[in-house]
Amino acid sequence: MGESLELTSAERERYLDEGFLVRKSVFDEADLVPIREAAERVAVRAAKASDAKASLVTRAIAPASDDYRVDGNRYVEAADATVQFEHGEGSQTIRVIEPFHHLDPVFDAFVEDPRLVVPVCGVFQADRVALWTDKINLKRPREGSGFRWHQDSPYWSHVCDHCDRLSNIMITLDDADRENGCFRLVRGSHRKGFLPGLDDGTALGPLFTDPNHFDESAEWLAEVPAGSVVIFDAHTVHGSEPNESDRARRAIVLTYQPADNPMFKMDETRNFSLHAR
């Protein structure tokens, strides 16, 4: 960690112009081993909590709305998180957990790692930022489903009045390439702010971006080593293909916002300051 973590002016220009910037291999194997272990602990904890919640729902002790389906896919509200399951009928495999940082002390500390907070402060040109939300995408071998093209901003717009001032940072826990469903972003797609969603009769359709409103050929594939970070604007169109490989493609996405704002799904404000380092 000898070199400066500050965002360079070239990186900031790229972020503003293309809607994202990339830093490869920010975290090395020594960093990643405990992070991957924590990811698996979180998955086990979320699975147990989901099973327990499902049992309570079956016995009508918890509301049916805690174990529900949207467009056929299962979600469980458990362990103070939304746990999404993979799309195969009856799948017990967890796809996404949001938020997850509170489920393991390694992640509770990770959200304030200077290798994340310093460049994000550079994006905001601020010396303090707050956490907005955090999710872990597990994308298991052969089973991990894709994410259709979308912007994150519309998903938050009903509860957030500062979607223009949210910045995501993805950290890859495994080497990512097209075979294991690497992350993809569309260059410049953030420039017009909120883009129209799909009107396809599904509940989530409006959250998927209408391809007539961005240039799909401008996609950039994040074929990056484990431990890389991609910082991207909340309006940047992004997604990924399914994991068709025998390798994992796990990733964490943390979203930061201007300081002093509370989190999305938790009744708490987590500020981080450059001066606390």
Ligand X SMILES: O=C(O)CCC(=O)C(=O)O
Interface residue with ligand X among 84, 167, 240, 257 (CB under 6 A) is 240
Please tell me whether residue 151 binds ligand X under the rule CB under 6 A.
no
Calculated CA dihedral for residues 212, 88, 73, 71, nearest 10 degrees: 50
Interface residue with ligand X among 114, 239, 242, 262 (CB under 6 A) is 239
d(CA 127, CA 181): 35
Smaller CB distance to ligand X: residue 5 or 229? 229
Smaller CB distance to ligand X: residue 62 or 147? 147
φ, ψ at 170 (rounded to 5°): -95, 135
Q: Where are the alpha helices (DSSP H) in 28-131?
A: 29-58, 105-110, 114-124
Please tell me whether residue 100 binds ligand X under the rule CB under 6 A.
no
Q: Which stretch binds ligand X (CB under 6 A): 36-44, 87-95, 100-108, 233-241?
A: 233-241
The answer to whether the Cα torsion of 9, 130, 158, 43 is positive or negative is positive
d(CA 222, CA 229): 10
Q: Which stretch binds ligand X (CB under 6 A): 20-28, 46-54, 186-194, 232-240?
A: 232-240
Number of residues that bind ligand X (CB under 6 A): 10
Interface residue with ligand X among 50, 133, 137, 228 (CB under 6 A) is 137
Interface residue with ligand X among 183, 214, 256, 264 (CB under 6 A) is 183
The three-point CA angle 96-265-31 to 5° equals 55
Q: Which stretch binds ligand X (CB under 6 A): 70-78, 101-109, 238-246, 257-265?
A: 238-246
Please tell me whether residue 152 binds ligand X under the rule CB under 6 A.
yes
Interface residue with ligand X among 147, 156, 208, 214 (CB under 6 A) is 147
Distance of CA 251 to the CA centre of its chain: 8
**Which residues touch 187 (CB under 8 Å, ≥6 apart)?**
18, 19, 20, 218, 219, 220
Which positions touch ligand X (CB under 6 A)? 135, 137, 147, 152, 183, 238-240, 251, 253
